[in-house]
Structure 1
Protein backbone atom coordinates (compact mmCIF):
# COMPACT_ATOMS: atom_id res chain seq x y z
CA UNK A 1 0.00 0.00 0.00
CA UNK A 2 1.26 3.42 -1.04
CA UNK A 3 -0.13 6.68 0.42
CA UNK A 4 1.06 10.22 -0.39
CA UNK A 5 -0.04 13.05 1.91
CA UNK A 6 0.63 16.77 1.54
CA UNK A 7 0.50 18.62 4.90
CA UNK A 8 0.55 22.38 5.18
CA UNK A 9 4.05 23.86 4.75
CA UNK A 10 6.67 24.22 6.07
CA UNK A 11 7.64 20.55 6.27
CA UNK A 12 10.76 18.74 7.41
CA UNK A 13 9.65 15.16 7.90
CA UNK A 14 13.12 13.80 8.70
CA UNK A 15 13.54 16.27 11.58
CA UNK A 16 9.99 15.58 12.77
CA UNK A 17 10.71 11.84 12.81
CA UNK A 18 13.99 12.37 14.69
CA UNK A 19 12.17 14.39 17.34
CA UNK A 20 9.55 11.66 17.60
CA UNK A 21 12.31 9.12 18.12
CA UNK A 22 14.20 11.45 20.50
CA UNK A 23 16.97 8.92 21.16
CA UNK A 24 18.68 6.02 19.41
CA UNK A 25 17.51 3.98 22.40
CA UNK A 26 13.95 4.28 21.15
CA UNK A 27 13.35 0.81 19.72
CA UNK A 28 9.81 1.50 18.46
CA UNK A 29 10.55 4.32 16.02
CA UNK A 30 13.53 4.12 13.69
CA UNK A 31 14.93 6.90 11.50
CA UNK A 32 17.53 6.06 8.87
CA UNK A 33 20.27 8.34 7.57
CA UNK A 34 18.14 9.29 4.57
CA UNK A 35 15.27 10.40 6.83
CA UNK A 36 13.10 7.31 6.34
CA UNK A 37 10.96 6.59 9.40
CA UNK A 38 9.72 3.08 10.25
CA UNK A 39 7.47 1.67 12.95
CA UNK A 40 5.69 -1.66 13.37
CA UNK A 41 1.92 -1.19 13.51
CA UNK A 42 -0.97 -3.64 13.75
CA UNK A 43 -3.23 -3.65 10.67
CA UNK A 44 -5.89 -6.05 9.42
CA UNK A 45 -3.30 -8.67 8.45
CA UNK A 46 -1.35 -8.37 11.70
CA UNK A 47 1.87 -6.53 12.59
CA UNK A 48 3.11 -4.57 9.58
CA UNK A 49 6.13 -2.37 8.99
CA UNK A 50 5.02 1.17 8.14
CA UNK A 51 7.54 3.47 6.41
CA UNK A 52 7.43 7.17 5.66
CA UNK A 53 9.73 9.50 3.76
CA UNK A 54 9.49 13.03 2.41
CA UNK A 55 9.37 13.62 -1.34
CA UNK A 56 9.25 17.34 -2.03
CA UNK A 57 6.14 18.77 -0.37
CA UNK A 58 4.64 15.33 0.22
CA UNK A 59 5.24 12.48 2.68
CA UNK A 60 4.95 9.05 1.12
CA UNK A 61 3.97 6.16 3.39
CA UNK A 62 4.27 2.50 2.50
CA UNK A 63 3.00 -0.52 4.41
CA UNK A 64 3.46 -4.15 3.45
CA UNK A 65 1.67 -6.43 3.78
CA UNK A 66 -1.44 -4.28 3.94
CA UNK A 67 -4.80 -4.36 2.21
CA UNK A 68 -6.90 -1.61 0.67
CA UNK A 69 -9.17 -1.64 3.74
CA UNK A 70 -6.19 -0.48 5.82
CA UNK A 71 -5.73 2.75 3.87
CA UNK A 72 -8.10 4.84 5.97
CA UNK A 73 -6.64 3.47 9.22
CA UNK A 74 -3.08 4.25 8.11
CA UNK A 75 -4.01 7.78 7.01
CA UNK A 76 -5.66 8.42 10.38
CA UNK A 77 -2.68 6.91 12.22
CA UNK A 78 0.02 9.03 10.56
CA UNK A 79 -2.14 12.17 10.55
CA UNK A 80 -2.46 11.89 14.34
CA UNK A 81 1.15 10.83 14.92
CA UNK A 82 2.67 13.72 12.95
CA UNK A 83 -0.13 16.32 13.36
CA UNK A 84 -0.42 16.58 9.59
CA UNK A 85 -3.71 18.52 9.77
CA UNK A 86 -2.37 21.30 12.03
CA UNK A 87 -1.70 24.81 10.70
CA UNK A 88 1.51 25.98 12.37
CA UNK A 89 1.91 29.26 10.48
CA UNK A 90 0.85 31.43 13.48
CA UNK A 91 3.51 29.80 15.67
CA UNK A 92 6.31 30.34 13.15
CA UNK A 93 5.29 33.96 12.68
CA UNK A 94 5.61 34.42 16.44
CA UNK A 95 9.02 32.68 16.47
CA UNK A 96 10.35 35.04 13.83
CA UNK A 97 9.42 38.01 16.03
CA UNK A 98 11.20 36.63 19.11
CA UNK A 99 14.60 38.14 19.78
CA UNK A 100 17.36 35.53 19.99
CA UNK A 101 15.37 32.84 18.16
CA UNK A 102 16.99 33.11 14.72
CA UNK A 103 19.03 29.93 15.22
CA UNK A 104 16.02 28.05 16.57
CA UNK A 105 14.00 29.10 13.52
CA UNK A 106 16.75 27.73 11.26
CA UNK A 107 17.18 24.44 13.08
CA UNK A 108 13.48 23.74 13.56
CA UNK A 109 11.97 25.00 10.30
CA UNK A 110 9.43 22.43 9.11
CA UNK A 111 9.16 20.63 12.45
CA UNK A 112 5.70 19.27 13.26
CA UNK A 113 4.50 18.23 16.74
CA UNK A 114 4.04 14.53 17.35
CA UNK A 115 1.14 12.87 19.12
CA UNK A 116 1.31 9.28 20.37
CA UNK A 117 -1.14 6.95 18.61
CA UNK A 118 -2.79 5.83 21.87
CA UNK A 119 -3.34 7.29 25.31
CA UNK A 120 -1.63 4.25 26.84
CA UNK A 121 1.56 4.85 24.85
CA UNK A 122 1.59 8.47 26.07
CA UNK A 123 1.04 7.40 29.68
CA UNK A 124 3.71 4.68 29.48
CA UNK A 125 6.25 7.13 28.04
CA UNK A 126 5.41 9.53 30.84
CA UNK A 127 5.81 6.86 33.53
CA UNK A 128 9.13 5.60 32.16
CA UNK A 129 10.65 9.05 31.65
CA UNK A 130 9.67 10.55 35.01
CA UNK A 131 12.67 12.12 36.77
CA UNK A 132 15.14 10.33 34.50
CA UNK A 133 17.46 11.28 31.67
CA UNK A 134 16.00 10.81 28.20
CA UNK A 135 18.45 7.99 27.46
CA UNK A 136 17.55 6.10 30.65
CA UNK A 137 13.82 6.51 30.10
CA UNK A 138 13.96 5.39 26.48
CA UNK A 139 16.12 2.40 27.39
CA UNK A 140 13.48 1.22 29.83
CA UNK A 141 10.68 1.88 27.34
CA UNK A 142 12.61 -0.28 24.88
CA UNK A 143 12.57 -3.14 27.36
CA UNK A 144 8.79 -2.77 27.68
CA UNK A 145 8.32 -2.76 23.90
CA UNK A 146 10.51 -5.85 23.50
CA UNK A 147 8.37 -7.80 25.93
CA UNK A 148 4.89 -6.39 25.27
CA UNK A 149 4.92 -4.96 21.75
CA UNK A 150 3.75 -6.66 18.52
CA UNK A 151 6.48 -8.15 16.33
CA UNK A 152 6.67 -8.06 12.55
CA UNK A 153 6.32 -11.44 10.82
CA UNK A 154 10.09 -11.85 10.53
CA UNK A 155 10.49 -11.06 14.22
CA UNK A 156 12.97 -8.30 13.43
CA UNK A 157 10.93 -5.30 14.62
CA UNK A 158 8.36 -4.66 17.30
CA UNK A 159 5.88 -1.88 17.90
CA UNK A 160 4.68 0.12 20.88
CA UNK A 161 3.72 -1.85 24.01
CA UNK A 162 0.12 -3.07 24.01
CA UNK A 163 -2.10 -2.14 26.93
CA UNK A 164 -3.88 -5.52 26.90
CA UNK A 165 -0.60 -7.42 27.27
CA UNK A 166 0.67 -5.12 30.01
CA UNK A 167 -2.67 -5.44 31.82
CA UNK A 168 -2.18 -9.22 32.07
CA UNK A 169 1.53 -9.12 32.89
CA UNK A 170 2.86 -10.36 36.23
CA UNK A 171 4.49 -7.58 38.22
CA UNK A 172 7.97 -9.20 38.17
CA UNK A 173 7.90 -9.04 34.35
CA UNK A 174 7.16 -5.32 34.46
CA UNK A 175 9.81 -4.75 37.10
CA UNK A 176 12.31 -6.43 34.78
CA UNK A 177 11.83 -3.53 32.36
CA UNK A 178 13.41 -1.20 34.92
CA UNK A 179 10.47 -0.09 37.06
CA UNK A 180 10.21 -0.11 40.84
CA UNK A 181 7.53 -2.34 42.36
CA UNK A 182 5.30 0.70 42.91
CA UNK A 183 5.72 2.04 39.38
CA UNK A 184 5.15 -1.45 37.89
CA UNK A 185 1.86 -1.75 39.76
CA UNK A 186 0.83 1.74 38.64
CA UNK A 187 1.62 1.00 34.98
CA UNK A 188 -0.43 -2.21 35.11
CA UNK A 189 -3.31 -0.34 36.77
CA UNK A 190 -3.22 2.22 33.95
CA UNK A 191 -3.26 -0.54 31.33
CA UNK A 192 -6.36 -2.04 32.95
CA UNK A 193 -8.37 1.18 32.68
CA UNK A 194 -10.95 1.70 29.89
CA UNK A 195 -8.56 4.16 28.25
CA UNK A 196 -10.43 4.65 24.98
CA UNK A 197 -13.55 5.70 26.88
CA UNK A 198 -11.43 7.85 29.21
CA UNK A 199 -9.80 9.58 26.23
CA UNK A 200 -13.25 10.35 24.81
CA UNK A 201 -14.15 11.93 28.14
CA UNK A 202 -10.94 13.99 28.25
CA UNK A 203 -11.56 15.25 24.73
CA UNK A 204 -14.75 16.97 25.95
CA UNK A 205 -12.95 18.88 28.73
CA UNK A 206 -10.89 22.09 28.66
CA UNK A 207 -7.19 21.78 29.46
CA UNK A 208 -7.43 22.54 33.19
CA UNK A 209 -10.22 20.02 33.82
CA UNK A 210 -8.56 17.36 31.66
CA UNK A 211 -5.34 17.89 33.62
CA UNK A 212 -7.21 17.45 36.90
CA UNK A 213 -8.71 14.17 35.67
CA UNK A 214 -5.29 12.89 34.60
CA UNK A 215 -3.85 13.74 38.02
CA UNK A 216 -6.36 11.30 39.53
CA UNK A 217 -4.69 8.38 37.71
CA UNK A 218 -2.10 6.16 39.43
CA UNK A 219 1.47 7.35 38.93
CA UNK A 220 0.50 10.58 37.16
CA UNK A 221 1.98 13.80 38.57
CA UNK A 222 1.97 17.36 37.18
CA UNK A 223 4.71 16.80 34.56
CA UNK A 224 3.19 13.53 33.32
CA UNK A 225 -0.29 15.07 33.14
CA UNK A 226 1.02 17.94 31.01
CA UNK A 227 3.06 15.55 28.88
CA UNK A 228 0.00 13.40 28.20
CA UNK A 229 -2.13 16.44 27.42
CA UNK A 230 0.42 17.56 24.82
CA UNK A 231 1.63 14.28 23.37
CA UNK A 232 -1.36 12.03 24.01
CA UNK A 233 -4.30 14.36 23.47
CA UNK A 234 -2.71 16.85 21.09
CA UNK A 235 -3.33 19.88 23.34
CA UNK A 236 -0.83 22.07 21.52
CA UNK A 237 -1.15 24.95 24.00
CA UNK A 238 0.30 22.92 26.90
CA UNK A 239 3.98 23.38 27.81
CA UNK A 240 4.93 20.59 30.28
CA UNK A 241 5.68 22.01 33.71
CA UNK A 242 8.74 20.85 35.60
CA UNK A 243 10.68 19.77 32.50
CA UNK A 244 14.33 20.38 33.38
CA UNK A 245 15.67 19.43 29.95
CA UNK A 246 13.38 21.83 28.09
CA UNK A 247 14.19 24.64 30.53
CA UNK A 248 17.94 24.03 30.17
CA UNK A 249 17.75 24.13 26.36
CA UNK A 250 15.62 27.28 26.40
CA UNK A 251 18.13 28.94 28.73
CA UNK A 252 20.95 27.94 26.40
CA UNK A 253 19.17 29.55 23.45
CA UNK A 254 18.45 32.76 25.35
CA UNK A 255 21.85 32.93 27.01
CA UNK A 256 20.64 32.91 30.60
CA UNK A 257 19.81 30.50 33.40
CA UNK A 258 16.26 29.18 33.03
CA UNK A 259 14.50 26.95 35.55
CA UNK A 260 11.26 25.05 34.74
CA UNK A 261 8.84 27.64 36.20
CA UNK A 262 10.59 30.41 34.25
CA UNK A 263 10.37 28.29 31.08
CA UNK A 264 6.61 27.90 31.56
CA UNK A 265 6.24 31.66 32.02
CA UNK A 266 8.33 32.35 28.90
CA UNK A 267 6.27 29.86 26.87
CA UNK A 268 3.09 31.79 27.69
CA UNK A 269 3.98 34.37 25.03
CA UNK A 270 3.49 31.65 22.38
CA UNK A 271 -0.15 30.93 23.32
CA UNK A 272 -2.23 29.35 21.87
CA UNK A 273 0.60 27.08 20.67
CA UNK A 274 3.02 27.16 23.59
CA UNK A 275 3.42 23.37 23.44
CA UNK A 276 5.06 23.75 20.04
CA UNK A 277 7.89 25.54 21.81
CA UNK A 278 8.45 22.34 23.80
CA UNK A 279 8.92 20.34 20.59
CA UNK A 280 11.32 23.01 19.35
CA UNK A 281 13.53 22.43 22.39
CA UNK A 282 14.03 18.87 21.16
CA UNK A 283 14.30 20.02 17.56
CA UNK A 284 16.96 22.57 18.48
CA UNK A 285 19.15 19.81 19.92
CA UNK A 286 18.46 17.29 17.16
CA UNK A 287 18.25 19.65 14.18
CA UNK A 288 21.46 20.38 12.31
CA UNK A 289 22.21 24.07 11.67
CA UNK A 290 21.34 25.13 8.15
CA UNK A 291 23.34 27.48 6.01
Structure 2
Protein backbone atom coordinates (compact mmCIF):
# COMPACT_ATOMS: atom_id res chain seq x y z
CA UNK A 1 0.00 0.00 0.00
CA UNK A 2 1.11 3.62 -0.34
CA UNK A 3 0.46 4.27 3.35
CA UNK A 4 -1.75 7.30 2.78
CA UNK A 5 -4.76 5.17 1.96
CA UNK A 6 -7.39 4.69 4.64
CA UNK A 7 -7.93 1.05 5.60
CA UNK A 8 -11.61 0.14 5.71
CA UNK A 9 -13.25 1.31 8.91
CA UNK A 10 -10.48 3.75 9.88
CA UNK A 11 -11.24 7.42 10.37
CA UNK A 12 -7.60 8.56 10.16
CA UNK A 13 -5.51 8.16 7.04
CA UNK A 14 -2.15 6.72 8.15
CA UNK A 15 0.72 9.20 7.78
CA UNK A 16 -1.45 11.77 5.95
CA UNK A 17 -0.07 14.52 8.21
CA UNK A 18 2.71 17.11 7.87
CA UNK A 19 6.25 16.00 8.66
CA UNK A 20 7.17 16.79 12.26
CA UNK A 21 10.73 17.05 13.54
CA UNK A 22 10.60 14.04 15.85
CA UNK A 23 9.04 11.90 13.14
CA UNK A 24 11.66 12.96 10.59
CA UNK A 25 14.54 12.27 12.98
CA UNK A 26 13.15 8.85 13.88
CA UNK A 27 12.49 7.93 10.24
CA UNK A 28 16.04 8.86 9.24
CA UNK A 29 17.43 6.81 12.12
CA UNK A 30 15.24 3.82 11.20
CA UNK A 31 16.52 3.99 7.63
CA UNK A 32 20.15 4.32 8.72
CA UNK A 33 19.92 1.31 11.02
CA UNK A 34 18.14 -0.71 8.35
CA UNK A 35 20.84 0.11 5.78
CA UNK A 36 23.57 -0.88 8.20
CA UNK A 37 21.84 -4.20 8.86
CA UNK A 38 21.65 -4.79 5.11
CA UNK A 39 25.35 -4.03 4.67
CA UNK A 40 26.21 -6.54 7.42
CA UNK A 41 24.29 -9.34 5.69
CA UNK A 42 27.22 -10.37 3.54
CA UNK A 43 29.90 -12.58 5.10
CA UNK A 44 33.37 -11.03 5.01
CA UNK A 45 35.04 -14.14 3.57
CA UNK A 46 32.26 -15.59 1.45
CA UNK A 47 33.01 -18.08 -1.27
CA UNK A 48 30.65 -19.22 -4.03
CA UNK A 49 28.72 -22.21 -2.77
CA UNK A 50 29.05 -25.50 -4.62
CA UNK A 51 25.89 -26.00 -6.63
CA UNK A 52 25.03 -22.28 -6.61
CA UNK A 53 23.73 -20.64 -9.77
CA UNK A 54 27.00 -18.66 -9.99
CA UNK A 55 29.13 -21.81 -9.98
CA UNK A 56 26.78 -23.45 -12.46
CA UNK A 57 27.07 -20.48 -14.82
CA UNK A 58 30.86 -20.51 -14.62
CA UNK A 59 30.95 -24.24 -15.40
CA UNK A 60 28.59 -23.72 -18.34
CA UNK A 61 30.74 -20.91 -19.72
CA UNK A 62 33.99 -22.84 -19.25
CA UNK A 63 32.53 -25.77 -21.18
CA UNK A 64 32.73 -23.66 -24.36
CA UNK A 65 35.89 -23.88 -26.45
CA UNK A 66 37.81 -20.70 -27.23
CA UNK A 67 37.34 -18.01 -28.36
CA UNK A 68 33.69 -18.36 -27.26
CA UNK A 69 34.50 -19.55 -23.74
CA UNK A 70 36.93 -16.73 -23.00
CA UNK A 71 34.64 -14.10 -24.54
CA UNK A 72 31.64 -15.32 -22.57
CA UNK A 73 33.75 -15.42 -19.41
CA UNK A 74 34.63 -11.75 -19.93
CA UNK A 75 30.97 -10.88 -20.53
CA UNK A 76 29.97 -12.71 -17.35
CA UNK A 77 32.72 -10.96 -15.40
CA UNK A 78 31.41 -7.61 -16.57
CA UNK A 79 27.91 -8.68 -15.54
CA UNK A 80 29.10 -9.34 -11.99
CA UNK A 81 30.92 -6.01 -11.91
CA UNK A 82 27.77 -4.18 -13.03
CA UNK A 83 25.72 -5.95 -10.37
CA UNK A 84 28.15 -4.73 -7.71
CA UNK A 85 28.11 -1.21 -9.14
CA UNK A 86 24.31 -1.18 -9.09
CA UNK A 87 24.28 -2.30 -5.45
CA UNK A 88 26.76 0.38 -4.38
CA UNK A 89 24.75 2.99 -6.29
CA UNK A 90 21.55 1.90 -4.52
CA UNK A 91 23.17 2.26 -1.11
CA UNK A 92 24.51 5.70 -2.05
CA UNK A 93 20.96 6.88 -2.76
CA UNK A 94 19.78 5.38 0.54
CA UNK A 95 22.36 7.46 2.38
CA UNK A 96 21.18 10.56 0.51
CA UNK A 97 17.60 9.82 1.56
CA UNK A 98 18.66 9.54 5.20
CA UNK A 99 19.86 13.15 5.06
CA UNK A 100 16.99 14.41 2.92
CA UNK A 101 14.34 13.29 5.42
CA UNK A 102 15.61 15.62 8.15
CA UNK A 103 16.36 18.71 6.08
CA UNK A 104 14.76 22.10 6.58
CA UNK A 105 12.27 22.91 5.25
CA UNK A 106 10.93 19.34 5.30
CA UNK A 107 11.06 17.52 1.96
CA UNK A 108 8.02 17.31 -0.27
CA UNK A 109 8.62 14.99 -3.25
CA UNK A 110 12.37 14.39 -3.10
CA UNK A 111 12.08 11.27 -0.86
CA UNK A 112 10.08 9.53 -3.59
CA UNK A 113 12.64 10.53 -6.23
CA UNK A 114 15.49 9.12 -4.13
CA UNK A 115 13.49 5.96 -3.48
CA UNK A 116 12.91 5.58 -7.22
CA UNK A 117 16.66 5.76 -7.80
CA UNK A 118 17.22 3.01 -5.22
CA UNK A 119 14.51 0.89 -6.81
CA UNK A 120 15.92 1.23 -10.32
CA UNK A 121 19.45 0.33 -9.19
CA UNK A 122 18.12 -2.75 -7.42
CA UNK A 123 15.99 -3.75 -10.40
CA UNK A 124 19.05 -3.51 -12.65
CA UNK A 125 20.94 -5.80 -10.31
CA UNK A 126 18.06 -8.27 -9.97
CA UNK A 127 17.54 -8.40 -13.74
CA UNK A 128 21.14 -9.54 -14.22
CA UNK A 129 21.59 -12.01 -11.35
CA UNK A 130 18.02 -13.32 -11.28
CA UNK A 131 18.66 -16.89 -10.03
CA UNK A 132 15.64 -18.30 -11.85
CA UNK A 133 17.05 -17.87 -15.37
CA UNK A 134 19.58 -19.81 -17.43
CA UNK A 135 23.17 -18.77 -18.04
CA UNK A 136 22.36 -18.20 -21.72
CA UNK A 137 19.50 -15.81 -20.93
CA UNK A 138 21.68 -14.01 -18.38
CA UNK A 139 24.35 -13.39 -21.01
CA UNK A 140 21.73 -12.26 -23.53
CA UNK A 141 20.36 -9.77 -21.00
CA UNK A 142 23.84 -8.45 -20.27
CA UNK A 143 24.55 -8.09 -23.99
CA UNK A 144 21.37 -6.07 -24.49
CA UNK A 145 22.13 -3.73 -21.61
CA UNK A 146 25.72 -3.31 -22.78
CA UNK A 147 24.55 -2.35 -26.24
CA UNK A 148 21.98 0.06 -24.82
CA UNK A 149 24.63 1.72 -22.67
CA UNK A 150 26.83 2.01 -25.76
CA UNK A 151 24.03 3.85 -27.54
CA UNK A 152 23.69 6.26 -24.60
CA UNK A 153 27.47 6.80 -24.67
CA UNK A 154 27.29 7.72 -28.35
CA UNK A 155 24.50 10.23 -27.71
CA UNK A 156 26.50 11.88 -24.94
CA UNK A 157 29.61 11.97 -27.14
CA UNK A 158 27.78 14.02 -29.76
CA UNK A 159 27.31 16.69 -27.11
CA UNK A 160 30.85 16.54 -25.71
CA UNK A 161 32.70 16.88 -29.00
CA UNK A 162 34.69 15.12 -31.74
CA UNK A 163 37.26 13.48 -29.46
CA UNK A 164 34.54 11.75 -27.45
CA UNK A 165 32.74 10.78 -30.65
CA UNK A 166 35.85 8.92 -31.80
CA UNK A 167 35.96 7.12 -28.45
CA UNK A 168 32.29 6.21 -28.80
CA UNK A 169 32.86 4.76 -32.26
CA UNK A 170 35.76 2.70 -30.92
CA UNK A 171 33.61 1.47 -28.04
CA UNK A 172 30.84 0.48 -30.43
CA UNK A 173 33.28 -1.52 -32.51
CA UNK A 174 34.72 -3.17 -29.39
CA UNK A 175 31.27 -4.18 -28.12
CA UNK A 176 30.26 -5.51 -31.52
CA UNK A 177 33.42 -7.63 -31.79
CA UNK A 178 33.23 -8.86 -28.17
CA UNK A 179 29.65 -10.05 -28.59
CA UNK A 180 30.48 -11.70 -31.91
CA UNK A 181 33.42 -13.52 -30.25
CA UNK A 182 31.03 -14.77 -27.57
CA UNK A 183 28.67 -16.08 -30.25
CA UNK A 184 25.97 -13.68 -29.10
CA UNK A 185 23.61 -13.33 -32.04
CA UNK A 186 21.89 -10.08 -32.98
CA UNK A 187 18.11 -10.03 -33.25
CA UNK A 188 16.40 -7.61 -35.65
CA UNK A 189 12.80 -6.66 -36.24
CA UNK A 190 11.02 -6.71 -39.62
CA UNK A 191 12.53 -3.32 -40.48
CA UNK A 192 16.06 -4.48 -39.78
CA UNK A 193 16.45 -2.59 -36.49
CA UNK A 194 18.49 -4.22 -33.75
CA UNK A 195 16.09 -5.16 -30.93
CA UNK A 196 18.07 -7.59 -28.80
CA UNK A 197 20.37 -10.59 -28.62
CA UNK A 198 20.18 -14.36 -28.55
CA UNK A 199 22.48 -16.82 -26.80
CA UNK A 200 22.03 -20.55 -27.36
CA UNK A 201 18.36 -20.11 -28.20
CA UNK A 202 17.59 -17.73 -25.29
CA UNK A 203 16.77 -14.14 -26.24
CA UNK A 204 16.53 -10.78 -24.47
CA UNK A 205 15.83 -7.21 -25.54
CA UNK A 206 18.14 -4.23 -25.39
CA UNK A 207 16.56 -3.14 -22.11
CA UNK A 208 13.88 -4.28 -19.69
CA UNK A 209 10.39 -3.00 -18.99
CA UNK A 210 10.66 -1.35 -15.58
CA UNK A 211 6.93 -1.45 -14.83
CA UNK A 212 6.74 -5.16 -15.59
CA UNK A 213 9.90 -5.85 -13.62
CA UNK A 214 8.56 -3.98 -10.59
CA UNK A 215 5.37 -6.05 -10.65
CA UNK A 216 7.21 -9.36 -10.84
CA UNK A 217 10.31 -8.79 -8.73
CA UNK A 218 9.33 -6.72 -5.69
CA UNK A 219 8.18 -8.46 -2.49
CA UNK A 220 4.44 -9.16 -2.39
CA UNK A 221 3.94 -7.01 0.72
CA UNK A 222 4.52 -3.85 -1.36
CA UNK A 223 1.98 -3.34 -4.17
CA UNK A 224 3.38 -1.83 -7.37
CA UNK A 225 4.63 1.68 -6.47
CA UNK A 226 6.28 2.74 -9.71
CA UNK A 227 3.50 5.00 -11.02
CA UNK A 228 3.54 6.94 -7.76
CA UNK A 229 7.32 7.34 -7.83
CA UNK A 230 7.27 8.39 -11.47
CA UNK A 231 4.60 10.99 -10.80
CA UNK A 232 6.92 12.64 -8.28
CA UNK A 233 10.10 12.21 -10.34
CA UNK A 234 8.53 13.68 -13.47
CA UNK A 235 6.67 16.45 -11.61
CA UNK A 236 3.28 15.49 -12.96
CA UNK A 237 0.54 17.85 -11.68
CA UNK A 238 -1.79 14.98 -10.77
CA UNK A 239 0.80 14.13 -8.14
CA UNK A 240 2.47 17.40 -7.21
CA UNK A 241 -0.67 19.49 -6.90
CA UNK A 242 -1.50 17.69 -3.66
CA UNK A 243 1.41 19.42 -1.90
CA UNK A 244 0.14 22.82 -3.00
CA UNK A 245 -3.40 22.05 -1.83
CA UNK A 246 -2.06 21.01 1.57
CA UNK A 247 -0.24 24.34 1.84
CA UNK A 248 -3.46 26.33 1.40
CA UNK A 249 -3.94 28.80 4.24
CA UNK A 250 -0.28 28.73 5.27
CA UNK A 251 2.83 30.72 4.35
CA UNK A 252 4.29 27.69 2.58
CA UNK A 253 4.05 27.08 -1.13
CA UNK A 254 4.21 23.31 -0.75
CA UNK A 255 3.75 21.00 2.24
CA UNK A 256 5.19 17.50 2.46
CA UNK A 257 3.52 14.61 4.24
CA UNK A 258 4.74 11.87 6.51
CA UNK A 259 3.06 9.51 4.02
CA UNK A 260 5.61 10.50 1.39
CA UNK A 261 8.50 9.68 3.71
CA UNK A 262 6.95 6.36 4.71
CA UNK A 263 6.29 5.38 1.11
CA UNK A 264 9.93 6.15 0.30
CA UNK A 265 11.12 4.05 3.25
CA UNK A 266 8.96 1.08 2.30
CA UNK A 267 10.06 1.22 -1.35
CA UNK A 268 13.72 1.36 -0.30
CA UNK A 269 13.32 -1.53 2.13
CA UNK A 270 11.47 -3.64 -0.44
CA UNK A 271 14.14 -2.89 -3.05
CA UNK A 272 17.02 -3.85 -0.78
CA UNK A 273 15.28 -7.02 0.35
CA UNK A 274 14.58 -7.93 -3.28
CA UNK A 275 18.28 -7.52 -4.02
CA UNK A 276 19.32 -9.63 -1.05
CA UNK A 277 17.05 -12.44 -2.20
CA UNK A 278 18.70 -12.25 -5.64
CA UNK A 279 22.20 -12.23 -4.13
CA UNK A 280 21.27 -15.23 -1.99
CA UNK A 281 19.78 -17.17 -4.87
CA UNK A 282 22.65 -16.52 -7.26
CA UNK A 283 25.71 -16.72 -5.00
CA UNK A 284 24.36 -19.42 -2.74
CA UNK A 285 25.01 -18.00 0.72
CA UNK A 286 22.20 -18.27 3.26
CA UNK A 287 20.54 -14.97 4.18
CA UNK A 288 17.39 -16.50 5.71
CA UNK A 289 18.14 -15.23 9.20
CA UNK A 290 19.17 -11.67 8.21
CA UNK A 291 16.12 -11.35 5.94
CA UNK A 292 13.83 -12.42 8.79
CA UNK A 293 15.52 -9.86 11.06
CA UNK A 294 15.02 -7.12 8.45
CA UNK A 295 11.33 -8.00 8.06
CA UNK A 296 10.85 -7.89 11.82
CA UNK A 297 12.59 -4.52 12.11
CA UNK A 298 10.57 -3.15 9.20
CA UNK A 299 7.24 -4.12 10.78
CA UNK A 300 8.20 -2.65 14.15
CA UNK A 301 9.46 0.54 12.51
CA UNK A 302 6.17 1.03 10.69
CA UNK A 303 4.14 0.91 13.91
CA UNK A 304 6.64 3.08 15.80
CA UNK A 305 6.66 5.76 13.11
CA UNK A 306 2.89 5.61 12.79
CA UNK A 307 2.63 6.57 16.46
CA UNK A 308 5.07 9.44 16.06
CA UNK A 309 3.38 10.79 12.94
CA UNK A 310 -0.01 10.99 14.66
CA UNK A 311 1.12 11.98 18.16
CA UNK A 312 -1.07 14.79 19.47
CA UNK A 313 1.01 16.07 22.38
CA UNK A 314 3.70 18.76 22.31
TM range (shorter): under 0.3
- In the superposition, the TM-score normalised over structure 2's length comes to 0.26
> Greater Rg, structure 1 or structure 2?
2
- In the superposition, the TM-score normalised over structure 1's length comes to 0.27
Between structures 1 and 2, the one with greater strand share: 1
- Structure number with the bigger relative contact order (C-alpha 8 A, sep ≥ 6) is 2
